[in-house]
Chain A
Amino acid sequence: GDSVTQMEGPVTLSEEAFLTINCTYTATGYPSLFWYVQYPGEGLQLLLKATKADDKGSNKGFEATYRKETTSFHLEKGSVQVSDSAVYFCALSGGNQAGTALIFGKGTTLSVSS
């Protein structure tokens, strides 16, 4: 079945460091890809998404490009801030048809220190 694999955490960085969180997927068809973020004590928030190959999703300085050839959707940010400390989840859904459940990776905890 479909699955998502993301790098194990925790990831610990200093402020202004470059961030990469790796995510690869296995899916039939042409899934949509997502990054969700969960700040301490809060619910899941959509960070960015991409719905087809070579699309780049971006938000709040974060970017991820849908790479069909490598089945990847790595999350990057050029300069992290303390406020970026959170758990990041990579996810896919099987397509734009209604009712497709999200399949999540196990989450990567990011801790940024000043």
Chain B
Amino acid sequence: GAGVSQSPSNKVTEKGKDVELRCDPISGHTALYWYRQSLGQGLEFLIYFQGNSAPDKSGLPSDRFSAERTGGSVSTLTIQRTQQEDSAVYLCASSRRGDTQYFGPGTRLTVL
């Protein structure tokens, strides 16, 4: 594809609900990353995939956060029982192995 795409672009949810955020990486990119951008914390790494496996989950802030990747392509980030502090822009990036990361436009999550 032309670039990394993410959906939805905006998501408003109520505290306690689960949400799923989707990322479509650039075709041929085997590495996929999730980051979070918030006013208080800046840009934080969440999780990295190489193919379908996630060798680095060190940035996930709690066990309410999980992610999967299927077919070496699309990835879904799931947040269970959302809290107001989860409000942020969630960014996805992809790269060829060891190369520059290219970012999607992000999903703005608002938890009421």
Contact = CB atoms under 8 A, between A and B. Distances in A.
**Is the pairing of A and B real?**
yes
Interface string A44-59: 1110010000000000
B48 A101 contact: yes
Contacts of B33: 101-102
A44 B91 contact: yes
B103 A101 contact: no
Given A46-B100, A49-B100, A89-B43, A99 B56 contact: yes
B32 to A, nearest CB: 10
Pick from A44, A49, A96, A97 the residue with the most CB of B within 10 Å. A44
Contacts of A44: 91, 93, 103
Contact of B45 (A49, A96, A97, A102): A102
A103 B101 CA distance: 12
B43 A96 contact: no
B100 A101 contact: no
What are the 3 tightest A-B residue pairs by CB atom distance, in nearest-first order? A101-B45, A104-B43, A44-B103
